Amino acid sequence: MKQKAIHLVLIVPAVVMACSLQLSAQDCSVNFIHHALDAPEDWSQGHVLSRGGHSGYHNPSDAWGAVELTLENCATGQNVVVRTSEQREDTTEVFNAADKVEALMNDISSLANANTWVSRLQSQAMNSGAKVRHSGISNTESCGCRVFYPELRGNKEPYKV
């Protein structure tokens, strides 16, 4: 009986911990006041695409409303955030390059060398009328990479729920 109790003491925490690490893409989505982040998409070949944005007051140096997408290479952590549209408080558009960026994304996904996808989006997004909001290399695993490509974390800090 003591041996069974010891096994339960060891097994139950391990099972609970394993279950808590099993995330779905939907677990990565966020809706908070005027910010939203949709569930990430597996963009294939070690890449994750996330879409989100905000509507309503953000801060004085930013738009009232915006839609953005983030493309990330899960193995390298290389990522780019592209704003595809922006609106004023009265909902008039400052710019809307969503259709052009979607076409660009289709072109990029057809390139054989997936390692160029993020840099290609970064270099060509502004030509389509969009804004590059951020680009860089993250040393922290994202939620989307944790869901779709946990084996590509490498030396990056693990995603924490």
- Indicate yes or no: pTM above 0.85: no
Which amino acid is residue 33, in one-letter code? Answer: I
Measured in residues, the chain has a length of 161
Instruction: List the chain pLDDT tens, one digit each, 161 residues.
Output: 555 544 444 444 443 344 446 899 999 998 888 888 999 999 999 999 999 998 886 677 778 899 999 999 999 999 999 999 999 888 899 999 999 999 999 999 999 999 999 999 999 998 999 999 999 999 999 999 999 999 999 999 999 98
Q: Report the phi/psi class of residue 110: left, alpha or beta, with left for phi > 0 and alpha for psi in -120 to 50.
A: alpha
CA-to-CA distance for 117 and 45, rounded, in angstroms?
10
Using alpha carbons, select from 92, 93, 101, 91 the residue that is nearest to residue 133.
101
